[in-house]
């Protein structure tokens, strides 16, 4: 038996030869281990199994791939359009549920429950969702009808009809313009798969906001769908009573509080990182056979410099598994769709159809031109001296007209400052409250009040206070997520008519507009052709408008360059696994498959490597095999994996902890060293050390506006420190001399050598920890923002990132066996989330209760959820009323409306407090 890593030796007793022989006959059984419960013991036990079964090729990367390791025909070459397509993913395992859909199956249930449904089923229109070709349950069809979709577009039908797709047997990658209805194709494949096989589906989207939006949509469309479970499987088929339950649709992203539990969901909508973590946990828990389908929305994100490599390593895992997982990839801006399809062993489908026609223009001076140079209109000069510049005049006049006609407009600006400035300027030219119906005016004032009360004590933004009554707002990363959500919702409901936003919003939020006005720059740089396409695609959404218009603005010297950008081909997507930014990509990819025991033998690791896009694009260069060897050796040197005498690689405890917490190998090593030191000298008499520990390791994870440190603030804070804080600052290695010098001369620290980089990192994290400390001491966000000269959105973003990092570190600590530290980190993550001191944590969990309200409750004698549960609705309403910011010149009618809203909210708060209190009492009784 080869030597084991020391941590394994202490836990596992080495089996005798007889035991090994006995074990060989036993198939690995599924153990009910949850992710958080004990990732390490699962991984260790799996490592043990792997050791026992070396002779059996236990690794779960497809044995088919393993055996073809030395075979020159190893890399499968599937056909493009599927006629000769043969999936190399042979389903050698019995599917989790034994019944895939087939043409001859009876029609899905509930047909007879809907009046007239039987008739509808007889339709000969193959694009109707009722047509028997699709075999969709009536609840699904009704759900989509409620969302305005009754019939497919021709391209959707054609795409879904590709061989093997509806049967769940083949993969597909497709492109279609923005707003052409890509999601429906993926949704239909997903729902068919989930209902037919009872397997899980994962939808991967790039941004948190899209996770939320997609989850809302799927809940609306599929919320009434029932899953059927036909009894218990026995030797003679299914026995016992069948049962039904609604479909579980859950969204996961860095901000979600709920734990990911495989058994709690049927469809998960996740960010890339969450999806990857979920698949790793399922692999360790032996539950991957429950996964039936994965959708990659916005597949072009594969070459995103920060997160693209995670999409690649995740997709590669799916390609290598010894089971059939249907892969769906889609994008509006993917140039080399054929290459992606070949890599993913998929059909590909390319469509240029757009259901809503778009009139596209470029504006030069006062001329409105089509892209091929025809002048189709002119913009009248304005007598207003603020609009003397033709560019500003064009922007304002093009933006205001549809607003006056009652349509939605998006104006894309190059910076946050410009968004706010233009919102203010444009609002001076939109209808005043005197020209609007009373209902609209009321709705706009309601929005202002929501903005003032709902945002962690920031009060309403002074610019928004002026622009919103005139139907105009701005939306960028500098405002809080609550503000952004309220503004986006108000725009969707038509309360706000025009939003000035930064280009990142085009990708992050799905807001439709009749007209889109674009200045295609981000900061001083031009926006990329793909980003410009995304912005243009916001105009004219199906179901909302009958047509859309885009106007791309240019300044005089920029006309040619911008025109070229509009006509530019999209760049091809390629692998980021081995480039500079994805330097950790390959090592993380390998560490993950080793730590989750998906691949441990040299054969299976090599098979995995050969399935990457990196290898697919460069199948024969001499440096790639060397890259694999070097990466494995580096991981071993970092003590993340060890090589057994048989040549198999197994994870160390550090390697397992790194993967379980979703860190890159280098970050895992860094965190391990830092926490080992911290554990020996932890100072609990101050919050400083723990808040320092919560700050993100990398500068790139720091919000942009916080990268310019205020050294004078650090100096002054150091001078005001008591002994405990000073001791911590010294332990962290803060250099007061350096701080004084930087406060005098200003600027950034030199980071050109590893030592200088480490010093800069320490001081940056210390600066951020001062912000976090203020947050958990209930200092209002607006005050912190002013103190650190940064937008409130950036402070909030730091809090969110740090909360996520705290959760990551806590998982890491648990797997490493540092449970006490894990509990402490989790507690602070919660306080950061709620923005309160210890005593308010429970109160701040109530709906509508942010830190300011929780403090007001405490001061009014409502010191816990028990007090709130026992209080009258009137008393709670009074507290809520007390924290509503006072506005001058508000009439009696308005005050009455506010009082009514507070009463409604108080009812919800008291009811929620009752439930929480009951739950707490039950726990106490149990104990």
Ligand X SMILES: Nc1ncnc2c1ncn2[C@@H]1O[C@H](COP(=O)(O)OP(=O)(O)OP(=O)(O)O)[C@@H](O)[C@H]1O
Residues that bind ligand X (CB under 6 A): 147-149, 151-153, 156, 176, 178-184, 332, 537, 541-543
Residue with smaller CB distance to ligand X, 178 or 664: 178
Smallest separation, CB 131 to ligand X (Å): 13
Residue with smaller CB distance to ligand X, 408 or 696: 408
Smallest separation, CB 518 to ligand X (Å): 15
Among candidate residues 868, 826, 812, the one with its CA nearest the CA of residue 844 = 868
Residue with smaller CB distance to ligand X, 222 or 395: 222
Smallest separation, CB 172 to ligand X (Å): 15
Smallest separation, CB 200 to ligand X (Å): 22
How far is the CA of 832 from the CAs of 200, 259, 484, 699, in angstroms?
Answer: 33, 18, 20, 20
How far is the CA of 840 from the CAs of 256, 688, 802, 850, in angstroms?
Answer: 21, 20, 20, 10
Tell me the Cα Rg of the chain. 29
Residue with smaller CB distance to ligand X, 284 or 334: 334
Smallest separation, CB 154 to ligand X (Å): 10
Smallest separation, CB 157 to ligand X (Å): 9
* Inter-residue contact 350 to 202 (CB < 8 Å): no
Nearest-angstrom CA–CA distance, 127 and 50: 50
Nearest-angstrom CA–CA distance, 461 and 795: 15
Non-local CB neighbours of 453 within 8 Å, separated by 6+ positions: 883, 884, 885
**SS3 of residue 175 by DSSP:** strand
In the complex, which residue's CB is closest to ligand X?
181
Smallest separation, CB 507 to ligand X (Å): 9
**SS3 of residue 284 by DSSP:** helix
Nearest-angstrom CA–CA distance, 691 and 807: 13
Residue with smaller CB distance to ligand X, 180 or 271: 180
Smallest separation, CB 207 to ligand X (Å): 12
Smallest separation, CB 335 to ligand X (Å): 15
* DSSP string across 99-120: ----TTSPPPTTTTTSTTHHHH
Residue with smaller CB distance to ligand X, 301 or 324: 301
**SS3 of residue 685 by DSSP:** coil
Smallest separation, CB 302 to ligand X (Å): 16
Residue with smaller CB distance to ligand X, 213 or 420: 213
Residue with smaller CB distance to ligand X, 168 or 537: 537
Smallest separation, CB 134 to ligand X (Å): 12
Among candidate residues 504, 532, 537, the one with its CA nearest the CA of residue 518 = 532
**SS3 of residue 748 by DSSP:** coil
Residue with smaller CB distance to ligand X, 148 or 237: 148
Residue with smaller CB distance to ligand X, 153 or 711: 153
Beta-bridge partner residues of 474: 500
Smallest separation, CB 153 to ligand X (Å): 5
How far is the CA of 887 from the CAs of 489, 866, 884, 903, in angstroms?
Answer: 23, 33, 9, 19
Element (H, E) at 659: helix 653-660
Smallest separation, CB 487 to ligand X (Å): 20
**SS3 of residue 639 by DSSP:** coil
Longest dimension (CA), the chain: 96
How far is the CA of 660 from the CAs of 278, 593, 641, 664, 812, in angstroms?
Answer: 10, 12, 14, 11, 7
Residue with smaller CB distance to ligand X, 534 or 702: 534
Residue with smaller CB distance to ligand X, 496 or 535: 535
Residue with smaller CB distance to ligand X, 150 or 388: 150
Non-local CB neighbours of 173 within 8 Å, separated by 6+ positions: 299, 328, 329, 330, 334, 337, 340, 341, 344, 346, 347, 348, 349
Residue with smaller CB distance to ligand X, 238 or 547: 547
Nearest-angstrom CA–CA distance, 915 and 927: 19
Token pair of 427, please? 């609002």
Please write down the long-range contacts of 438-444, taking CB distance under 8 Å and 24 or more positions apart. 440/471, 440/495, 441/469, 442/897, 443/490, 443/493, 443/495, 444/468, 444/469, 444/471, 444/495, 444/496
Nearest-angstrom CA–CA distance, 276 and 288: 12
Smallest separation, CB 129 to ligand X (Å): 9
DSSP 134: T
Nearest-angstrom CA–CA distance, 857 and 231: 51
């Amino acid at each position: 038996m080869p030597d084991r890593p020391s941590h394994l030796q202490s836990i596992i007793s080495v089996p005798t030869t007889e035991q090994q022989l006995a074990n060989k006959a036993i198939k690995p059984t599924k153990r009910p281990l949850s992710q958080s419960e004990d990732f390490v013991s699962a991984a260790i036990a799996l490592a043990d199994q792997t050791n026992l079964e070396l002779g059996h090729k236990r690794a779960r990367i497809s044995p088919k791939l393993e055996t073809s390791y030395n075979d020159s025909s190893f890399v499968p070459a599937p056909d493009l359009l599927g006629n000769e397509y043969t999936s190399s993913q042979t389903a050698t395992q019995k599917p989790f549920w034994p019944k895939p859909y087939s043409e001859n199956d009876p029609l899905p249930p509930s047909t007879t429950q809907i009046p007239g449904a039987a008739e509808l089923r007889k339709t000969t229109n193959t694009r109707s969702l009722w047509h028997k070709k699709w075999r969709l349950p009536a609840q699904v069809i009704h759900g989509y009808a409620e969302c305005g979709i009754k019939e497919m577009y021709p391209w959707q039908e054609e795409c879904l009809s590709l061989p093997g797709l509806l049967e769940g047997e083949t993969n597909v990658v497709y492109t279609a313009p923005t707003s052409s209805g890509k999601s429906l194709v993926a949704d239909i494949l997903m729902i068919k798969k989930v209902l037919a096989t009872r397997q899980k589906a994962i939808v991967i989207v790039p941004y948190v906001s899209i996770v939320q939006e997609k989850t809302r949509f799927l809940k609306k469309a599929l919320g009434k769908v029932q899953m059927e479970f036909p009894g218990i499987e026995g030797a003679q088929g299914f026995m016992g009573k069948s049962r039904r339950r609604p479909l579980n649709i859950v969204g996961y992203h860095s901000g979600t509080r709920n734990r990911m539990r495989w058994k709690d969901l049927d469809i998960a909508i996740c960010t890339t990182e969450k999806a990857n973590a979920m698949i790793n946990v399922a692999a360790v828990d032996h539950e991957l056979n429950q996964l039936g389908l994965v959708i990659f929305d916005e597949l072009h994100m594969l070459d995103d410099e920060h997160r693209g490599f995670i999409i690649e390593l995740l997709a590669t895992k799916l390609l290598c598994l010894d089971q059939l997982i249907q892969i769906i990839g889609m994008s509006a801006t993917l140039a080399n769709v054929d290459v992606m399809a070949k890599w993913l062993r998929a059909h590909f489908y390319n469509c240029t159809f757009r259901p809503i026609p778009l009139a596209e223009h470029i504006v030069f001076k006062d001329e409105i031109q089509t892209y091929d140079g025809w002048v189709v209109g002119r913009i009248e000069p304005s007598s207003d001296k603020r609009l003397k510049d033709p560019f500003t005049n064009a922007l304002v006049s093009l933006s205001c007209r549809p607003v006056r006609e009652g349509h939605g407009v998006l104006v894309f600006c190059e910076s946050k400052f410009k968004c706010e400035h233009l919102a203010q300027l444009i609002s001076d030219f939109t209808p005043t409250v005197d020209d609007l119906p009373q209902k609209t005016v009321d709705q706009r004032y309601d929005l202002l009040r929501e903005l003032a009360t709902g945002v962690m004590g920031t009060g309403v933004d002074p610019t928004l206070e002026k622009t919103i009554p005139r139907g105009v707002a701005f939306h960028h990363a500098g405002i809080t997520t609550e503000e952004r959500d309220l503004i986006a919702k108000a725009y969707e409901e038509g309360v706000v008519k025009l939003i000035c936003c930064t280009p990142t919003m085009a990708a992050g939020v799905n807001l439709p507009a009749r007209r889109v006005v674009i200045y295609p720059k981000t900061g001083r740089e031009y926006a990329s052709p793909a980003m410009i396409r995304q912005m243009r695609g916001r105009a004219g959404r199906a179901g909302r408008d009958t047509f859309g218009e885009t106007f791309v603005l240019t300044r005089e010297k920029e006309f040619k360059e911008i025109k070229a950008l509009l006509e530019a081909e999209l760049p091809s997507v390629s692998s980021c696994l081995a480039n500079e930014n994805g330097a950790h990509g390959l090592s993380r990819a390998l560490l993950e498959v080793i730590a989750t025991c998906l691949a441990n033998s040299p054969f299976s690791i090599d098979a995995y490597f050969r399935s990457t896009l990196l290898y697919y694009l460069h199948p024969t260069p001499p440096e790639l095999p060397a890259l694999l060897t070097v990466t494995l050796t580096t991981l071993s040197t970092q003590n993340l994996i060890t090589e057994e005498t048989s040549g198999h690689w197994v994870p160390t405890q550090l390697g397992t902890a790194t993967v379980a917490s979703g860190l890159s190998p280098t970050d895992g090593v860094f965190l391990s060293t830092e926490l080992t030191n911290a554990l020996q000298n932890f100072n609990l008499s101050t919050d400083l050390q723990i808040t320092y520990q919560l700050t993100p390791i990398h500068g790139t994870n720091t919000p942009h506006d916080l990268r310019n440190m205020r050294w004078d603030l650090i100096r002054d804070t150091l001078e005001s420190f008591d002994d405990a804080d000073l001791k911590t600052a010294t332990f962290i290695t803060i250099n007061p001399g350096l701080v004084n010098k930087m406060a005098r001369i200003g600027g950034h620290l030199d980071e050109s050598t590893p030592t200088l980089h480490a010093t800069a990192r320490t001081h940056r994290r210390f600066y951020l920890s001062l912000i976090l400390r203020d947050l958990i001491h209930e200092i209002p966000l607006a005050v912190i923002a002013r103190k650190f000269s940064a937008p409130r959105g950036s402070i909030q973003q730091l809090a969110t990132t740090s909360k996520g990092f705290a959760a990551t570190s806590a998982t890491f600590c648990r797997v490493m066996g540092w449970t006490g530290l894990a509990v402490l980190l989790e507690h602070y993550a919660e306080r950061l989330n709620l923005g309160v001191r210890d005593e308010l944590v429970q109160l701040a969990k109530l709906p509508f209760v942010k830190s300011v309200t929780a403090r007001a409750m405490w001061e009014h004698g409502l010191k816990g959820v028990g007090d709130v549960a026992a209080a009258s609705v009137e008393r709670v309403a009074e507290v809520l009323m007390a924290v509503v910011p006072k506005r001058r010149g508000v009439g009696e009618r308005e005050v009455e409306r506010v009082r009514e809203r507070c009463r409604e909210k108080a009812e919800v708060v008291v009811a929620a407090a009752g439930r929480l209190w009951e739950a707490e009492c039950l726990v106490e009784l149990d104990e």
